[in-house]
Amino acid sequence: MIPVTKPFLPPIEEYQKYLIGIWQRQWLTNMGPLASDLEIKLKEYLGLNHLLFVTNGTVALQMAIKALNLKGEIITTPFSFVATTSSIVWEGCRPVFVDIDKSSLNIDPSKIEENITDKTTAILATHVYGNPCDVIAIEKIARKHNLKVIYDGAHAFGVKINGKSIFEYGDISTCSLHATKLYHSGEGGLVVTNDKEILKKLAFIRNFGFNGPEAFAELGLNGKNSEFHAAIGLTNFSYIQKIHQKRKELSEYYNEKLKGLKARQPVWHKEGTLNYAYYPLVFDTEELMLKCMEGLQRHEIFTRRYFYPSLASTLPYLEKQNFQVTDDFAKRVLCLPLYVDLSLEEVDLICRLLLRIQNN
């Protein structure tokens, strides 16, 4: 059986070394030394000025919306994981969907301005599969209309544009460190901002709003993460390059072997680096995609329709909407297996099966 993803796990002995220290200190959460160390290491690795390690990527989005004091309408994409939209609704705002670009599958900047109203306060865009949005165009629109910008970078760990971290763009960027991500801490997330005042506010929010043992500065929540998750993050930290290299090797092997398949990958940002977080394919037709998906499943090879269906047409707490590009592409996208333990032989098998299924 070949799953669509599998979490990277380092040698258990390396993780156990951190557990000994946790047991000795008896400091399990509340931003202990391991969580603080992980923040520093990730900030330096990613080349960022400020970074907070939080519970998960969803809480990171909720914190971002709260820290920017957003109200009213937030323009966003219907082609993303549900947390992008649910976080907006959870924080009492209204998501306004904008269709996606046919090439990148990210939000289409050319369609944003026509959806801006006097109630619009922000743009929340997703770097889909880690592929950078058109951050320059979005920033220009945001400045023109005095809007805040949040980037959901759940998939974008390590991605850069012209040598600059993708997380440096926007008022706040977030990232997921969930177990299925290319770099993970089991459960976890990151909140990034260049603004010291916003960072201060986010830090208060992460810890219930506390400003000392008997004082409060903000309305907060429990966005802290545990020492156990930080230990996984620290153990995995030394393997980041190995993980990236293996995923690159697998992705390039897919590229070589699938040249005859009637499908394409999203067009990557021309100035962006690749992190190989996923291997998505846009098939020529939904019929072919379903045929391939079901054919692989018969051989116990599992894929994922990521993201399907469109968020605009499926969420029970929102009025259903249809978007021509999103609805079309969501039906035809399929993510193939990609993880460190996947072998070239297994990729070769997947590719041979796909081409055989297509041609039969």
How far is residue 105's CA from residue 123's CA, in Å, rounded to a whole number? 16
Report the CATH number at residue 120. 3.40.640.10
Label residues 180-197 b or e (16+ Cβ within 10 Å = b).
ebbbbbbbbbbbbbbeee
Same domain, 286 and 310: yes
Which residue from 178, 173, 143 is spatially nearest to 159, judged by alpha carbons? 173
Residue 212 has pLDDT above 90, yes or no: no
Same domain, 329 and 288: yes
Same domain, 223 and 245: no
- Is 22 part of a structural domain of the chain? yes
Same domain, 66 and 199: yes
How far is residue 351's CA from residue 360's CA, in Å, rounded to a whole number? 14
Residue 289 has pLDDT above 90, yes or no: yes
Alpha carbon of residue 207 to chain centroid: 23
Same domain, 193 and 148: yes
Same domain, 225 and 81: yes
168 neighbors 142 (Cβ within 8 angstroms):
no
Write the pLDDT tens digit of every residue in 151-188.
Answer: 999 999 999 998 999 999 999 999 999 999 999 999 99
- Is 198 part of a structural domain of the chain? yes
- Is 4 part of a structural domain of the chain? no
- The residues, ordered by sequence, that sit 6+ positions from 310 with a Cβ below 8 Å of its Cβ are 78, 79, 322, 323, 326, 327, 330
- Is 157 part of a structural domain of the chain? yes
Alpha carbon of residue 306 to chain centroid: 12
Write the pLDDT tens digit of every residue in 7-26.
Answer: 999 999 999 999 999 999 99
Domain stops at, among 211, 237, 263: 237
pTM attached to this predicted model: 0.96
In whole numbers, what is the pLDDT of the chain averaged over residues? 97
26: left (phi over 0), alpha (psi -120 to 50) or beta: left
Write the pLDDT tens digit of every residue in 28-69.
Answer: 999 999 999 999 999 999 999 999 999 999 999 999 999 999
Report the CATH number at residue 298. 3.90.1150.10
- Is 141 part of a structural domain of the chain? yes
- The residues, ordered by sequence, that sit 6+ positions from 146 with a Cβ below 8 Å of its Cβ are none
For residue 111, give the DSSP letter.
Answer: G
Report the amino acid identity of residue 205: I
How far is residue 42's CA from residue 317's CA, in Å, rounded to a whole number? 36
**Tokens matching residue 10:** 């380092």
Same domain, 288 and 213: no
How far is residue 93's CA from residue 89's CA, in Å, rounded to a whole number? 5
Write the pLDDT tens digit of every residue in 327-344.
Answer: 999 999 999 999 999 999
Domain count, the chain: 2
Give ∠ CA 208-213-217 in degrees, rounded to 5: 50
Same domain, 216 and 288: no
Same domain, 244 and 233: no
**Tokens matching residue 240:** 């980041």
- Is 3 part of a structural domain of the chain? no
Same domain, 140 and 275: no
Range of the domain at 30: 12-237
Write the pLDDT tens digit of every residue in 99-142.
Answer: 999 999 999 999 999 999 999 999 999 999 999 999 999 999 99
Same domain, 327 and 195: no
Same domain, 23 and 92: yes
Residue 360 has pLDDT above 90, yes or no: no
**Tokens matching residue 225:** 């993460």
Q: How many CA atoms lie within 13 A of 98 on its CB side?
A: 23
- Is 185 part of a structural domain of the chain? yes
- The residues, ordered by sequence, that sit 6+ positions from 71 with a Cβ below 8 Å of its Cβ are 92, 93, 121
Domain stops at, among 198, 221, 237: 237
Domain stops at, among 208, 237, 266: 237
Write the pLDDT tens digit of every residue in 228-273.
Answer: 999 999 999 999 999 999 999 999 999 999 999 999 999 999 999 9
- Is 1 part of a structural domain of the chain? no
